[in-house]
Structure 1
Amino acid sequence: MQLHILQGYIQHIYLVQHDNSLLLLDGCSRADITTVSDYIQQQLGLPLEALKLIIVTHMHPDHAGGAHKLRRLTGARIASHPKARRWYSGLLGRTAHLIDVSLTWWVATRLGKPKRHIWYNPLLKPDLLLLDGQQVPGFAEWQVLFTPGHTDHDLSLLHLPTRQLYIADLIVSVKKRLVPPYPVCHPNQYKQSLQRVQELAPSQIYFAHLPARAAESIDFAAILAQAPTLPKNHWHSMKNRILHTLGRQNRSH
Structure 2
Amino acid sequence: MKIHVLKGFIQNIFLVEYPDKCMLLDGCSKADFSTLADFFERSLKRPLSDLKVVVVTHMHPDHAGCAHFLRHKTGCKIVSCDKQTQWYSGLKGRLAHLIDIALALWVAGKMNRPKKNIWYPPHLRPDIALSDQQTIPGFEEWQVFETPGHTDRDLSVMHMPSKRIYIADLIVRVKGKLSPPFPVYKPKQYKQSLLKLQALQTRSVMMAHVGELSLTDSDFAYLLSKAPLKPKTNKLAIQKMIKSKLFKTRLQS
TM-score, with normalisation over the residues of structure 1? 0.94
Tell me which residue corresponds to 1:58: 58
Identify unmatched segments of 5+ residues in structure 1: none
| Residue 112 of structure 2 is aligned to residue 112 of structure 1 | yes
Distance 1:32 1:218, change over 3 A: farther
Distance 1:166 1:250, change over 3 A: same
SS of alignment partner, residue 5 of structure 1:
strand
RMSD: 2.0
Contact 1:84 1:124 in 2 (8 A): no
| Residue 248 of structure 2 is aligned to residue 215 of structure 1 | no
Q: Distance in 2 between matches of 1:215 and 1:179?
A: 12
Q: Distance in 1 between matches of 2:190 and 2:181?
A: 10
Q: Identity over the aligned pairs, expressed in percent?
A: 49
Amino acid at match of 2:70: L
SS of alignment partner, residue 213 of structure 2:
coil
Tell me which residue corresponds to 1:128: 128
TM-score, with normalisation over the residues of structure 2? 0.94
Q: Give deviations 1:98-151, integer Å, cap 9, x for gaps.
A: 110011111111111111110000111111111110111110110000000000
Distance 1:10 1:251, change over 3 A: closer
Q: Distance in 2 between matches of 1:209 and 1:182?
A: 12
Tell me which residue corresponds to 2:202: 202
SS of alignment partner, residue 142 of structure 1:
strand
Q: Give deviations 1:6-28, integer Å, cap 9, x for gaps.
A: 11000010110122200110000
SS of alignment partner, residue 78 of structure 1:
strand
Contact 1:82 1:129 in 2 (8 A): yes
Count residues with an aligned counterpart: 253
How many Å apart are 1:84 and its aligned residue? 8.1
Contact 1:58 1:84 in 2 (8 A): no
Tell me which residue corresponds to 2:11: 11
Tell me which residue corresponds to 1:145: 145
Tell me which residue corresponds to 2:180: 180
Amino acid at match of 1:237: A
Tell me which residue corresponds to 2:230: 230
Tell me which residue corresponds to 1:89: 89
Amino acid at match of 1:64: A
Tell me which residue corresponds to 2:30: 30
How many Å apart are 1:42 and its aligned residue? 2.1
Tell me which residue corresponds to 2:39: 39
How many Å apart are 1:82 and its aligned residue? 2.3
Contact 1:61 1:118 in 2 (8 A): yes
Distance 1:224 1:134, change over 3 A: same
